[in-house]
Amino acid sequence: MLTVNEIKQFLDEDAASEIKRMARVCQNYYEGRHDILDYRLFYYNADGILTEDTTRSNAKIPHQFYTELVDQATEYILSGDGGIFHSDDPALQEQLDEYFNDSETFISELAEVITGQQAKGFDYLYAYKGENDRLCFEYADSLGIVEVEGRFADDGKDQIIYRYIDRVDKEGRTQFRIRVIDDEKTYFYKQTDDGEITSDTAIDGLNPRPHALYVRKDDTEEKLFTREFGFLPVFRLDNNRKKTGLLKAVKALIDDYDLMASSLTNNLVDFDVPIHVVKGFEGDTMEELMLNLKTRKIIGMEATDAGAGVDIKTIDVPYQARVAKLELDEKGIYHFGMGLNLAGLKDTTATTNLAIKAAYSLLDLRCKKAIREIKKFLRKILKVVLDEINDREGTDYRLSQVWFDFTPQTITNGQENAQIELTEAQTEQTRINTLLSMASYLGDELLMQNICDVLDIDYEEIKGKLPDPSEAENSLIDARKAFEGIDASDIGSGVEMR
């Protein structure tokens, strides 16, 4: 096991790593804490000294494009219906539904880890035993996890150090909880701010503790049983091999957009009040003059003062250039961030499905790359779940019996969909009418086979339900009347999900 000094050393080294530094920047941008919030204005005073300007307007407006780009991918990936885990074995499918597809908790935790994958570059799920003696999974923040390879540990085991904030006490000190996890046990520690790490005495029961604890009662006493998983119960989802998030591609553009928009606001605030140029007026002090302008909006002038007067000067803010730059930055953010710019899809009734598909193309490309990593990640989780099911049920389920379905939904043009359906219905009706007109040449059986092909019906399944030959002529007449009465004009329009 690791000593407390080794734990602190690993935590400190990890906090200073380039991967974690960039992950923290990505998390800040996802939460709206942009670099613009640290923006300051300076000028050189009369003595040539650089001085911060605290009188001018300094608006600091972060625009959360990054949050939108990340959340778009998460929701798009998980927007499909019917669950993610599928099997052709009904008994196995029932188990998969209970563990994954029908579990709102698992879907919620999976959404969190996919968000972390997109935002920070990598994130984790932590496995534990639930009350029903089944494996459950919860999100674990990658910023607090350190992976320790076995070659750095005395016992040669791979281990996970997981530090998370428990609370902030009334003195403002941050209280951390620390778990050190290997393939057999979990060790519990605590830490205040960046101080000394000590064993956590607040943990009830064993410390270290096996991965699973069971309490069984008999007639005389309660007995405690323990069980080790035999694997590290922490699973990592990477965005790519370098474990980098999406921010690297768009950070400069987002910073530029923040600066342009904030500077435009500053210009509008600073030059909102017109400048009063007072000529030949010495009746009041400058302070009195300014007070009169602010409160009474009027000043008095001496009639005998030659050339006295007030000119009002206004300044036109050159906003057109800034607006053009903002629009250019916005396009670049969505393009290089591979996101969906909804500004171009405001009127979906006038946008064709081809145009909508083109608008989704970059987001779809980014999500397909992410889904490949997600499938590898889910296969690791599925393996330990199948091992648990096989051990409990005495079955022999294998990974090859399970497949994953990610079928994202996109908006479509409902009016165009309705027109397509109407055209297909009319084509189908024409083909059936043509077959019915040739009934005397085809014969009853061949006619019904062709009609079933048009309607996509299995002829073998309905063959036994067909009328007797003596009733065939009347049935064909009824069929002709039915097909000729098809009316597809009621197909609706509007925006729908596909």
Q: C-alpha angle 448/452/455, rounded to 5°?
A: 140
Tell me the helices (H) and strands (E) count for the chain, helix number first.
14, 19
Burial 424-461 (b: 16+ CB within 10 A, else e): eeeebbebbeebbeebeeeeeeebbbbbbebeeeeeee
Nearest to 114 by CA among 150, 142, 81: 142
pTM (2 decimals)? 0.76
* Two tokens, residue 138: 């919860």
The C-alpha atoms of residue 388 and residue 382 are separated, in whole angstroms, by 10
The C-alpha atoms of residue 409 and residue 77 are separated, in whole angstroms, by 9
Beta bridge partners of 86: 403
**Distances 317 to 43, 314, 321 between C-alpha atoms, Å:** 21, 10, 10
Beta bridge partners of 182: none
CB 343 within 8 A of CB 333: no
Q: C-alpha angle 160/164/165, rounded to 5°?
A: 165
* End-to-end CA, the chain: 53
Gyration radius (Cα) of the chain, Å: 35
Q: C-alpha angle 208/209/212, rounded to 5°?
A: 165
CB 102 within 8 A of CB 84: no
Q: From first to last of its 498 residues, what are the pLDDT tens digits of the chain? A: 788 888 999 999 998 999 999 999 999 999 999 999 999 988 888 788 998 888 788 899 999 999 999 999 999 999 888 889 999 999 999 999 999 998 889 999 999 999 999 999 999 999 998 878 889 999 999 999 999 988 777 777 889 999 999 899 888 899 999 999 998 889 999 999 988 999 887 776 678 888 887 666 666 666 666 778 889 999 999 999 999 999 999 999 999 999 999 988 888 877 666 655 566 655 566 666 666 655 555 555 555 555 666 666 566 777 788 889 999 999 999 999 999 887 766 655 556 767 778 888 899 999 999 999 999 999 999 999 999 999 989 999 999 999 999 988 876 666 666 777 777 777 878 877 787 777 777 777 787 777 788 777 776 776 666 665 555 555 555 655 555 555 544 444 444 444
The C-alpha atoms of residue 457 and residue 190 are separated, in whole angstroms, by 67
